[in-house]
Every structure is written in C-alpha cells, then in structure tokens.
C-alpha cells in the first residue's frame, strides 16, 4: 500500500477510534483521553495508537481499560471504516506530551520562585 493511502488510513483510524472510545468506554470521573497519533505499517496489520491522558497519573489505568476492551474496539472499528479486517490495536501513552508537561511545570516553578524573590 502506498504511503498516501497508509497516512489516510492512519487519519481515519484516529478519527473513528476517538469516537468509539468516547461512546463505548467509560473511564472514572475526571479522566480525559485523546488520541494524539496513529501509525500503521503498509500491511495495516497493526495500529500503534498514542494517547494523551489527563491527569497523567491515570495513564496506566487507561491502558488497562483499553486493553480489556480491544475486541470491542476492533469490532466497532471494522464497522466504521468498512474494511474486511481491522488492524490489531496497541496503545501507548504519549511520552512526548508527558515530557512537555514536566518541562512546563519546571518553568512555572522557577517563575514562581523568582516572583517570590522579587527577581522577576
């Protein structure tokens, strides 16, 4: 499959899987989950799905819930994107987003400290 078709499929999976997760999966109150990226190889046998989770401490809980519901998610995905076989799903927490958040927190702490010391 050419790269344009694979990218189109990645985008379609991201869009439809986001809807399915929102409609079919219940997380405890206060947990927000969004899909940041989907990457499939040319054979479309596996979809690697990167997630942004808030609060970040809920990441492992979200991964477990989604792992427990993989069959339902794949089944719904087949219906929505109208393919014969949906790719296997593998979920990851988007570490880049976590690192960005840690860096923002550090900068905010430094700014607060400087304000307290009247140096800013």
So where are the chain's domains? 3-94
Q: What is the pTM of this model?
A: 0.76
Q: Provide CB contacts within 8 A for 27, sequence distance 6+.
A: 33, 58, 61, 62, 65
User: Residue 43 is encoded by which pair of tokens?
Assistant: 């054979």
Indicate the average pLDDT of the chain. 87
pLDDT band with cut points at 50, 70 and 90 for residue 5: confident
Task: Grade residue 98 by pLDDT with cuts at 50, 70 and 90.
Answer: low
Q: What pLDDT does residue 100 have?
A: 66
Query: What's the number of CA atoms in the CB half-sphere (13 Å) around residue 77?
Result: 23
CB atoms within 10 A of CB 38: 22
What's residue 97's pLDDT? 60
Q: Answer whether residue 109 shows pLDDT above 60.
A: yes
Taking residues 36-42, report their average pLDDT.
91
Fold of 3-94: GMP Synthetase; Chain A, domain 3 (3.30.300)
């Amino acid at each position: 499959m050419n790269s344009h078709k694979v990218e189109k499929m990645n985008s379609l999976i991201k869009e439809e899987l986001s809807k399915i997760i929102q409609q079919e999966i219940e997380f405890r109150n206060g947990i927000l989950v969004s899909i940041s990226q989907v990457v499939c190889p040319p054979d479309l046998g596996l979809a690697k799905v990167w997630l942004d989770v808030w609060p970040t401490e809920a990441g492992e809980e979200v991964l477990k819930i989604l792992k427990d519901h993989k069959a339902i998610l794949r089944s719904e995905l087949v219906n929505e994107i109208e393919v014969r076989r949906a790719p296997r799903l593998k979920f990851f927490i988007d570490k880049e987003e976590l690192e960005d958040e840690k860096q923002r927190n550090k900068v905010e702490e430094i700014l607060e400290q400087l304000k307290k010391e009247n140096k800013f």
